[in-house]
Amino acid sequence: MRVEIDEHSGCCNGVRRAIEQAEQVLSQNGALYSLGAIVHNETEMDRLRHKGLSTIGYEDLKNLQDTVVLFRAHGEPPAVYNIAKGNNIEIIDCTCPVVLQLQKRIAATYHEISPKGGQIIIFGKNGHAEVNGLIGQVQGNALVLEKVEQLHSAISDRRIDLTKPIALFSQTTKDPQQFQQLGELLRTAVLEACGDDSQLSVFNTICRQVSSRHPNLIEFAKGHTAIIFVCGKESSNGKILSQLCASVNPRTYSVEHHNEINPQWFGPDDFVGICGATSTPKWQLEEVANYLKNL
């Protein structure tokens, strides 16, 4: 059996930077608070916890004073920064530059179109940390659509006013093809309602590093007889990318840890590809590869 790791897989730049900064502080102080999980990968979080990382929630933050807290790559709304400032908390701000740019763009667009009755729509997962941060830029005045299919009901329920300015954004880790489909459907609906789409703005705010993984993974999955996709069970990006692999290679197995691998999945002639989400570190992919090579 041959084994190959996808060279394009591994943590995205934003997550990798947050992990590296956390490790740097932990090596100096032996302890650090993180507001929320740095990465949606329980195996990696266990490794960081053993180094002294403690994950806290927003209620915990309100009760902390005079300490240091890391803000993860997903970004936070302005209200959270105000809490930290009021409690004399030093922030290690690891907000991904791509997310930070998106936050600023949404805030500026909202400021421009809200006086005209305009609306912000975000293609993303309700409750996701990044989406919460984005909604916070507009005081909660945004509609979140998780699936393309939800557009029609949002229009029929009049949660979307097609006659007013609309700005469509995306969570940075969403499927680019689905976002394109959503944008096209929304444009068609606006044209049918108004005969003019000049008040519709569609901003493709999906991270380029993430979007490029889609075509790369399709080719990688096609080029192997079986795929092991490594990701945390809570990773939204992982669910999207593992489903993408499975769509072109039915022998795709999604695991969080090498202990979940069943040796009976493979035969001696298999060429197994190992890949992962933007929340999957390289060391975890290598661990899985070594496990398979020693079967």
269, containing H or E segment: none
Closest by alpha carbon to 187, among 173, 175, 201, 205?
201
In Å, what is the CA distance from 123 to each residue of 15, 104, 191, 273, 285? 21, 17, 20, 31, 30
Q: How far apart are CA 108 and CA 105, in angstroms?
A: 5
Candidate list 23, 44, 76, 130, residue with the active-site label: 130
In Å, what is the CA distance from 225 to each residue of 247, 253, 272, 277, 291? 14, 12, 6, 20, 18
Alpha-helical segments (H) within the chain: 13-29, 42-50, 58-63, 78-86, 97-113, 129-136, 150-156, 176-194, 208-211, 213-222, 236-248, 282-293
What the block records as the tokens of 73 is: 């790559």
Give the type of residue at 131.
Answer: V
The question of whether 260 is a catalytic residue gets the answer no
Four-residue CA torsion sign, 36, 38, 40, 45: negative
Strand order in the sheet with 32-35: 53-56, 32-35, 68-71, 90-93
Give the type of residue at 237.
Answer: N
Active site residues: 130
